[in-house]
Amino acid sequence: MILDSFSLKGKVAIVTGSNTGLGQGICRAYAEAGAKVVGVSRRPSTETEQLIGSENFYNVIADLSSCDVIPEVIEKTLARYGRIDILVNNAGIIKRQDSIEFSEENWDSVLNVNLKTVFFLTQAVAKQFIKQGGGGKIINIASMLSYQGGIRVPSYTASKSAIKGITMTLANEWASKGINVNAIAPGYMATNNTQQLRQDEERSADILARIPAGRWGTPADLEGAAVFLASSASDYVNGFTLAVDGGWLGR
């Protein structure tokens, strides 16, 4: 049955940024597809745990602005569920400031969470995949700003363009080991990340007018792509960034 190849039964997934927004939606979808989910968040993922139930969800509290937490994330996941099959690098931040005044703090903080920790967490999980044998799935959360420049968000654009790039690099190196590395580029989604934009009436109306689907996306809109890229249905998909954007990029 083709639908069986989308099942995540028996799989263990790590999802970063599990307490809210797109990460919370991905955790819920993975649990529904049969996976045990380890949510990594700097604040407790209490709501996510309530949605899923404590048998299939385990919360690791970690601040991903530093790579120091990576060994603990891996160790706690293995202690709880014994293996890792899927990693979703979802946690991310954005800083808005005119580029002419953009601060080093706004540059470093975004690059640390959105790129540096993503790379080294991915490396640590890939080592575990290789140790286990049998490959694994990495899904990076990219952005429309993996393709476009954006306005007043230079560090975010740098990080998300780089995410698309390293998704291809890692796929080139690891596809032969059965490790699929892909990304999802969400369009404009109604989460905390876009709260400031949606509050700006002019920018919000401009954005909405350009989305062919005629609405902002929701966490639920991302779930199908996230399950597909985590499942054996995508075993021959490597290094690709899949836009889930209501048609934004085609415009």
Give the angle 204-208-209 at the CA atoms, nearest 5°. Answer: 120
Q: How many CB atoms lie within 10 A of CB 51?
A: 15
- Report the alpha-carbon distance of residue 140 to residue 122 in Å, rounded: 9
Of 51-59, 91-99, 124-132, 224-232, the segment contacting ligand NAP by CB under 6 A is 91-99
138 is an interface residue for ligand NAP by CB under 6 A: no
Active-site residue among 81, 156, 188, 236? 156
- Exactly one of 41, 77, 182, 234 binds ligand NAP (CB under 6 A); that residue is 41
- 57 to 86: interface string for ligand NAP, x by CB under 6 A: ------xxx---------------------
User: Minimum distance from CB of 129 to ligand NAP (Å)?
Assistant: 22
246 binds ligand NAP (CB under 6 A): no
Q: What is the DSSP letter of 114?
A: I
Backbone φ and ψ of 180, nearest 5°: -95, 125
Comparing CB distances to ligand NAP, the nearer of 155 and 193 is 193
Tell me: does residue 234 bind ligand NAP (CB under 6 A).
Answer: no
Q: Which of 8, 14, 15, 17 binds ligand NAP (CB under 6 A)?
A: 17
Instruction: Kindly give the residue spans of alpha helices, DSSP state H, lying in the chain.
Output: 21-32, 46-52, 70-81, 104-111, 117-132, 154-174, 195-199, 201-210, 219-230
Tell me if 154 contacts ligand NAP by CB under 6 A: no
Taking the complex as a whole, the smallest distance from the CB of residue 235 to ligand NAP amounts, in Å, to 25
19 closest CA partner among 244, 242, 228, 219: 219
Token pair of 110, please?
């975004």
- Binding residue (CB under 6 A) for ligand NAP from 13, 14, 22, 27: 22
What residues form DSSP beta bridges with 16? 40
CA 161 to chain centre: 14
Is 156 among the catalytic positions?
Answer: yes
Rule CB under 6 A: which residues touch ligand NAP? 17, 19-23, 41-43, 63-65, 90-93, 113, 141, 143, 186, 188-189, 191-194
